[in-house]
């Protein structure tokens, strides 16, 4: 299948990958939006910056003692739990600007493993200090709640997708979600490069790899998508949106 994406096949390296270009997503490195003025230089004393981690490294592991949140500066990660059978159950993907590790707050240990899908740089936010300061800074407290709220809302969205039997709906909803996530970060909302494998997508959406692949092919055949391996162009965003909407009745 010829490259249908705007640029040539080696253009994949030229197009910015999610999380690559642009300024730090936080006013202050890793500082939640809107708290810069309240917080000032204090922030720099709390946050631990980390060197970029290569692909396939773990930021934290399932059951590891929880002691920090992590803010992704660039790159992307997948979160998963190990199953009895040894396979992994993927619970989510995160990109530049996301704060991960929230599931560890409640039970004192990370509920998932966070593994990089690409070279990824991030900041560590020790939770004990964050919590202490949140007692005084009402804005920070509110931000923490807001993060938890978004996390829970995202899970409800995913559940609605998983209750839909149609693979096309699930894939469409997934692509729309990804596209919007990219768009919020200032990337093209019609042309994206998937950081995860088809197998990962299938695992996340509760489908088989074959069905996932077939949905991509079908969308390509119907000129809804242009698919070149992991490079996806939304040829008909409205139609994709319509199909995704079927998840939500």
User: Would you tell me which residues interact with its own copies (CB under 8 A)?
Assistant: 81, 83-85, 87, 89, 91, 103, 105-108, 111, 135, 145-146, 148-149, 152-153, 155-156, 158-160, 162-165, 205-206, 248-249
Strand partners, 227: 232
In whole angstroms, the minimum distance from the beta carbon of 222 to DNA comes to 13
CA–CA distance, 69 with 151 (Å, rounded to integer) = 13
CA–CA distance, 203 with 58 (Å, rounded to integer) = 19
Token code pair at residue 209:
């790899």
In whole angstroms, the minimum distance from the beta carbon of 82 to DNA comes to 17
- Choose, by CB under 7 A, the member of 130, 206, 236, 237 that binds DNA: 206
- Choose, by CB under 7 A, the member of 15, 50, 151, 198 that binds DNA: 198
Token code pair at residue 83:
């199953």
Does 211 help bind DNA (rule: CB under 7 A)? yes
Within 10 A of 242 (CB to CB), how many other CB atoms are there? 12
User: Edge-to-edge strand order for the sheet containing 113-116?
Assistant: 58-60, 113-116, 76-82, 88-95
The item of its own copies, DNA, none sharing an interface with residue 103, based on CB under 5 to 8 Å by kind, is its own copies
The item of its own copies, DNA, none sharing an interface with residue 14, based on CB under 5 to 8 Å by kind, is none
Does 61 help bind DNA (rule: CB under 7 A)? no
In the chain, what's the furthest Cα-to-Cα distance? Answer: 58
Nearer to DNA, 91 or 103 (CB): 91
Does 208 help bind DNA (rule: CB under 7 A)? yes
Nearer to DNA, 1 or 159 (CB): 1
CA–CA distance, 23 with 31 (Å, rounded to integer) = 13
CA–CA distance, 42 with 139 (Å, rounded to integer) = 15
- Single out the segment in contact with DNA by CB under 7 A; choices: 28-36, 44-52, 140-148, 161-169: 161-169
Cα→Cα distances 181→19, 41, 109, 114, 221, Å: 11, 29, 27, 18, 25
Residues that bind DNA (CB under 7 A): 1, 165-168, 197-199, 206-214, 216-217, 227, 229-230
């Amino acid at each position: 299948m010829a490259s249908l994406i705007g640029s040539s096949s080696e253009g994949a390296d030229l197009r910015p990958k999610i999380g690559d270009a642009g300024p730090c997503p936080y006013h202050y490195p890793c500082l939640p939006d809107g708290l810069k003025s309240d917080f000032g230089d204090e922030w720099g004393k709390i946050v631990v910056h980390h060197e970029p981690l290569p692909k396939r490294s773990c930021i934290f592991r399932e059951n590891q003692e929880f002691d920090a949140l992590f803010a992704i500066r660039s790159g992307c990660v997948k979160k998963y739990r190990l199953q009895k059978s040894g396979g992994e159950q993927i619970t989510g993907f995160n990109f530049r600007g996301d704060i991960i590790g929230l599931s560890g707050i409640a039970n004192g240990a990370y509920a998932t493993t966070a593994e990089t899908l690409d070279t990824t740089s991030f900041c560590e936010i020790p939770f004990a200090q964050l919590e202490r300061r949140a007692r005084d800074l009402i804005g920070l407290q509110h931000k923490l709640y807001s993060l938890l709220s978004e996390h829970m809302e995202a899970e409800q969205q995913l559940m609605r997708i998983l209750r839909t039997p149609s693979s096309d709906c699930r894939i469409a909803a997934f692509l729309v979600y990804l596209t919007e996530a990219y768009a919020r970060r200032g990337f093209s909302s019609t042309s994206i490069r998937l950081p995860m494998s088809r197998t990962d997508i299938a695992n996340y959406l509760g489908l088989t790899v074959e069905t996932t692949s077939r949905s991509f092919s079908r969308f390509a055949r119907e000129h809804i998508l242009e698919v070149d391996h992991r490079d996806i162009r939304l040829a008909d965003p409205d139609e994709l949106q319509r199909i995704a909407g079927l998840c939500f009745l």
